[in-house]
Amino acid sequence: MSVLDKFSLAGRTALVTGGYRGLGLAFATGLAEAGADVVIGARDVAASKEAAARLAERTGRTVIGVGLDVNDRASGQAAVEAALEETGRLDILVNNAGACVHRPSLDIPDEEWDEVFSTNVDGLWKLSQTAARHFTTVGGGTIVNIGSISAQIVNRPQWQPAYNASKAAVHQLTKSLAAEWAPLNIRVNAVAPGYVKTEMAPVDEPQFKARWIDDAPMQRYAVPEEIAPTVVFLASDASSFMTGSVVVIDGGYTLH
Ligand code: NDP
């Protein structure tokens, strides 16, 4: 097998949560371009089906859109079953769905705190467990979690304490599950992006620009397509000896 062959995902199926827009869509696209069939899971069923149809047409892969709320274990189970029904398999889970609230700590209502943690941590955990239970029946699988450099730095002045703490939990859960599931041939890794131009990042605010562009080694934000290749790599056999890794992709931001 050549080095390039190791990056191929032909014959595999990937499930991407929140995969119809933003980083999730870039991941779904990258995985399909690498040869995988893809299940796009999103709370907005119509939008996920629309995105899936467009991606199927572009790549010639089987791409389906399903309703998926990561907080709802039953919908996670249904998404796994849809993958099995429509493509015959599930090999890769990309836990991309995420929530972020920018608010100073003293003003955060419980509901906002709970939404961030339930999406970023509990939801990721529930779907990982559901997928891993399937992976144990077929000899293994791969999970890629989307963490953040917010796990290690504090974003100011757009305070986001719940988000920061939740992404630190994602990184540590990645390592815990990787160690526990390695004997089951289930690899678990994470990427930790810096600032990426999507709806989640308030990139046009002047204060934000000062901190995240002027003060950054590469003097710019990333675009989603710059994060996707690493997700494809971690999903593929090219990373076959990697598990429990958190790969930082931040244009050097955390170097200082
Ligand atoms: P977006 O806000 O553009 O997308 C977030 C996605 O998560 C949406 O598709 C959203 O769906 C989905 N989602 C939220 N809650 C749920 C839920 N309960 N069930 C299913 N889907 C849900 O953000 P990004 O694309 O920027 O973020 C994607 C991931 O990347 C997140 O985990 C984020 O934390 C991470 N990240 C982003 C960075 C950035 O700078 N943009 C930097 C580092 C990490 P819906 O439309 O229904 O709300």
Q: Give the integer Cα–Cα distance in Å for 117 and 99.
A: 8
Does position 8 have pLDDT exceeding 70, yes or no? yes
What pLDDT digit, counting tens, does each position of 17-59 carry? Answer: 999 999 999 999 999 999 999 999 999 999 999 999 999 999 9
Give residue 119's pLDDT. Answer: 98
Domain parsing of the chain, residue ranges: 3-245
Give residue 138's pLDDT. Answer: 98
Give residue 211's pLDDT. Answer: 78
Query: In the predicted model, what is the mean pLDDT of residues 151-166?
Result: 91
| Residue from 62, 253, 36, 1 nearest 144 by CA | 36
CATH of 3-245, one of 3.40.50.10190, 1.10.1060.10, 3.40.50.720, 3.10.20.30: 3.40.50.720
Return the structure tokens found at 226. 């710059």
Active site residues: 163
Does position 148 have pLDDT exceeding 90, yes or no? yes
Give residue 202's pLDDT. Answer: 67
Give residue 171's pLDDT. Answer: 98
Please tell me if the CB atom of residue 234 comes closer than 6 angstroms to any atom of ligand 1: no
Query: In the predicted model, what is the mean pLDDT of residues 176-188?
Result: 98
Give residue 5's pLDDT. Answer: 96
Q: Contact at 8 Å (CB) between 116 and 68?
A: no
Please give the distance, rounded to the nearest whole angstrom, from the Cα atom of residue 138 to the centre of ligand 1: 29
Choose the weakest-confidence range: 43-57, 83-97, 148-162, 176-190: 148-162
Please tell me if the CB atom of residue 43 comes closer than 6 angstroms to any atom of ligand 1: yes
Q: Contact at 8 Å (CB) between 92 and 13?
A: yes
Return the structure tokens found at 125. 């955990």
Nearest CA to ligand 1 atom 13: 97
- Tell me what percent of the residues of the chain surpass a pLDDT of 70: 99
Which atom of ligand 1 is closest in space to residue 196's alpha carbon? 40
User: Per-residue confidence at 117, pLDDT binned at 50, 70, 90?
Assistant: very high
Ligand 1 pocket mutation, candidates 95, 122, 160, 198, criterion most atoms within 8 A of CB: 198
Please tell me if the CB atom of residue 18 comes closer than 6 angstroms to any atom of ligand 1: yes
**Mean pLDDT for the chain overall:** 95
Give residue 209's pLDDT. Answer: 80
Please tell me if the CB atom of residue 68 comes closer than 6 angstroms to any atom of ligand 1: yes
Its pTM stands at 0.98
State the SS3 of the chain.
CCHHHHCCCCCCEEEEECCCCHHHHHHHHHHHHCCCEEEEEECCHHHHHHHHHHHHHHHCCCEEEEECCCCCHHHHHHHHHHHHHHHCCCCEEEECCCCCCCCCHHHCCHHHHHHHHHHHHHHHHHHHHHHHHHHHHHCCEEEEEECCHHHCCCCCCCCCHHHHHHHHHHHHHHHHHHHHHHHHCEEEEEEEECCECCCCCCCCCHHHHHHHHHCCCCCCCECHHHCHHHHHHHHCHHHCCCCCCEEEECCCHHHC
Query: In the predicted model, what is the mean pLDDT of residues 136-160?
Result: 94
What pLDDT digit, counting tens, does each position of 194-241 carry? Answer: 999 888 776 677 777 877 788 889 999 999 999 999 999 999 999 999
Q: Give the integer Cα–Cα distance in Å for 175 and 63.
A: 30
Burial group, residue 115, by CB count within 10 angstroms (0-12, 13-18, 19+): middle
Please give the distance, rounded to the nearest whole angstrom, from the Cα atom of residue 184 to the centre of ligand 1: 29
Give residue 233's pLDDT. Answer: 98
Nearest CA to ligand 1 atom 33: 98
- Tell me what percent of the residues of the chain surpass a pLDDT of 90: 89
Please tell me if the CB atom of residue 19 comes closer than 6 angstroms to any atom of ligand 1: no
